[in-house]
Amino acid sequence: MESLLFHILSGADLDWLFAVANLQNLEPNQIIDQSHDATPCFHLTLSGQAAIAMPHQHPENLKELIPLITNALIGAVPGLENGISTAVLQAKTACQLLSIDLAQLMAKMSQDKAFAAHFYQFVAMAIMQCLGALIQQFQLNPTVLYQINVKEASHLFAELQDSHLDWLIAVGQRQQLPAEQILQRVYRPIEALHIVLDGALSVDATTHSTPISPPSQDSIQEIARLGRGDLFGELRSLQDNARSLPMHIVQVQTLRETEILSIPHWRIAAKLLHDTDFALHYYRTLAQLMAGKYHTILTKLGFLPSQQNQAGTSDRLLAKVAKVEANFEWMEQRIQSKVVIGREIVWSLK
């Protein structure tokens, strides 16, 4: 199977990457351990199939966590601190491996926003494929994606600029929903990004349901809860080109009267194509979100130790949370004043 890289990066992106990267042919069973790199590097298989392994409960006990995958990536990724930096790659068939020095990659991404946006899109989709393989390997319920790191989707507000938030308000639909109204049905496509302005919603897993019959009340189990500032539907932007995971396996309904801002995904898709700055921030957030989910699942499976609250990490997280809250409050004020980019938007308020 051809690497996702060739479907997402542009011709200019690929030309630069192949000019500076090191290409290596791997024999079956050959191992790449990024901990032996002289300098931090990013590694990716371009062809063939490989396994990803990690120490399990003991440094010398190497265990496969993904036995067979294309787009196998390990090593360092600029802006991502979780998930893939401690793994070992083993070729299962003849593979072609691309390796690039982290410093070169960081310099390129800081100078070329279009490249950075495409690269983060690729990384987010590749990690999603890894998650799909991980869920299958350990027979996890796919709804686990909606149970872990749910609140981190709101970090999008720390990434987006004021002009991006203005755009979301301008194209979004503000809705007042009564209690117990279903916002997203199981087996139905996710058609919008929903931002919770006020109220609460439950994210529910269902059993004994089919595409044509709604689930009964006793087959619904709450797996997560969304409140003010939370998002639902952000993973939809990764679905079209990474179909290894179903994105319509949960139901979302209001727990009380709730106000949301809904942005149709076709508008987001168009914006991502035509606004490089927006795409960079949006895909970087999704890559961070997917890496965080990957890291959390590996921790729960015993491949990674529980995170320690290091001072530097804690300070960065607190700063991000503060920025999320400040930007969200700014967006709320813009919505309430109904002023967007110098013009008034009139909503029917109850």
**Would you call 97 helix, strand, or coil by DSSP?**
strand
Percent of the chain past pLDDT 90, that is, above it, reads 47
Q: Taking phi first (over 0 means left), then psi (-120 to 50 degrees means alpha), and beta for anything else, what does residue 310 get?
A: beta
Q: Is the per-residue pLDDT at 93 higher than 60? A: yes
Average pLDDT of the residues in 122-137: 89
Q: Which domains does the chain carry?
A: 5-111 (2.60.120.10), 144-344 (2.60.120.10)
Confidence of residue 33 (pLDDT cuts 50, 70, 90): confident
250-284 residue pLDDT tens: 899 999 999 999 999 999 999 999 999 999 999 99
Which of these, 238, 248, 253, lies nearest to 293 by C-alpha position? 238
| Cβ-based burial of 172 (10 A; exposed 0-12, middle 13-18, buried ≥19) | buried
On whether the CB atoms of residues 91 and 48 are closer than 8 A, the answer is: yes
What is the structure's pLDDT at 242? 46
Tell me what the pLDDT averaged over the chain comes to: 85
Q: Is the per-residue pLDDT at 219 higher than 90? A: no
Q: Is the per-residue pLDDT at 344 higher than 60? A: no
